[in-house]
């Protein structure tokens, strides 16, 4: 029987195909497994990496599905946190390739990786689509540490140990206070506030991205506008800028639909809301 220990380690029965005797019990701890994050947004990557570190997991990050496949050729990752929408190859396709490849294609893997979907969508049918592609579990953005911890505990019940390593106050209406507090809780003793770092990353990316969105609108490149809105949507959501994220989601749909008139109007709302978010985030940096 699988048993969770107070330390977060998991006792799991081992499959005899993995080289152990049937019924043998192995203690699986966070430090015994390797985690790969597949996420094209830099801010999102950093959030997940910090949350995993707080939970005792070491992880690497890649930006698209092709990089996932390449990473699996080099390292026997046990758990993959897979963004569903990525450039080059999305999470659904890379998961299907992993599940359909057989062990021979990934000679470093002792067993199939446990794949967790990470998606900004929470619509009926999204969860089923993830499972149909071959994913094992499901998380939505913005990612909360409690949800991540629960999923990882379930994952530890299914994976074996890794092989030895090869060489809102004034900003209350603009920002979700619970998200900001959750990010601040990731702070380690004698280390910088991770929220400050994430705000710097967000603002450094957002301004140029908004400029590209404006240029795309002027050029009538509505799909390009939508693609940039998708990226800004994810970053804003992770920092609790829910209205900005929602406006970007609307803009993304309008861009995909080549609805120039509506997209132009929504872009103006996005720009206005970003000004409020920027002020609120800068205020947070001073706390």
User: What is the average pLDDT across 177-187?
Assistant: 87
User: Which residue, chain included where needed, has tokens 């609120």?
Assistant: 280
For residue 109, the model assigns a pLDDT of: 55
Per-residue pLDDT, 22: 43
**Residue 139 bridge partners (DSSP):** 118
Report the percentage of the chain scoring pLDDT > 70: 82
Q: What is the DSSP letter of 105?
A: G
Pairwise CA distance, residues 8 & 241, whole Å: 32
| Domains of the chain: residue spans and CATH | 3-156 (3.40.50.2300), 177-285 (1.20.120.160)
pLDDT confidence band for 10 (50 / 70 / 90): low
pLDDT of residue 88: 81
Beta strands in the chain (DSSP E): 3-4, 10-13, 25-28, 35-38, 59-62, 79-83, 114-119, 137-140
DSSP assignment of 166-229 equals P---TTTTTS-HHHHHHHHTTPPTTS--HHHHHHHHHHHHHHHHHHHHHHHHHHT-HHHHHHHH
Average pLDDT of the segment spanning 74-82:
91
Task: Supply the pLDDT for residue 19.
Answer: 42
Q: pLDDT at position 124, please?
A: 74
Side by side, the strands of the sheet bearing 3-4 are 3-4, 10-13, 25-28
> What average pLDDT is seen over the chain?
83
Least confident among 31-40, 60-69, 155-164, 235-244: 155-164
Position 4 scores a pLDDT of: 40
116, pLDDT greater than 70: yes
CA–CA distance, 48 with 79 (Å, rounded to integer) = 13
- Could you give the CA distance from residue 225 to residue 231 in angstroms, rounded to a whole number? 10
The angle that helices 65-74 and 91-101 make with each other, rounded to 10 degrees, is 30
């Amino acid at each position: 029987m699988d048993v969770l220990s107070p330390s977060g380690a998991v006792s799991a029965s081992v499959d005899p195909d993995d080289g152990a005797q049937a019924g043998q019990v192995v203690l699986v701890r966070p430090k015994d497994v390797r985690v790969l994050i597949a996420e094209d947004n830099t801010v999102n990557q950093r959030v997940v990496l910090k949350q995993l570190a707080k939970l005792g997991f070491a992880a690497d990050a890649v930006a698209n599905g092709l990089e996932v496949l390449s990473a699996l050729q080099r390292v026997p990752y046990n758990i993959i946190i897979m963004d569903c929408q990525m450039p080059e190859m999305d999470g659904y396709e890379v998961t299907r390739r992993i599940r359909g490849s057989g062990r021979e294609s990934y000679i470093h893997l002792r067993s199939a990786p446990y794949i967790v979907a990470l998606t900004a969508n929470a619509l009926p049918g999204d969860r089923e689509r993830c499972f149909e592609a071959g994913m094992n579990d499901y998380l939505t953005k913005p990612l909360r540490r409690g949800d991540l911890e629960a999923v990882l505990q379930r994952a530890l019940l299914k994976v074996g140990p890794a092989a030895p390593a090869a060489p809102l106050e004034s900003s209350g209406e603009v920002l979700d206070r619970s998200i900001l507090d959750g990010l601040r809780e990731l702070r380690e003793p004698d280390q910088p506030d991770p929220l400050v770092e994430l705000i710097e990353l967000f603002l450094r990316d957002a301004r140029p991205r908004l400029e590209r969105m404006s240029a795309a609108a002027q050029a009538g490149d509505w799909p390009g506008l939508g693609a940039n809105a998708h990226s800004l949507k994810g970053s804003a959501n992770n920092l609790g800028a829910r209205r900005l994220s929602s406006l970007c989601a609307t803009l993304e749909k309008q861009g995909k639909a080549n609805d120039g008139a509506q997209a132009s109007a929504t872009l103006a709302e996005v720009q206005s809301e970003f000004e409020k978010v920027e002020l609120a985030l800068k205020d947070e940096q001073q706390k």
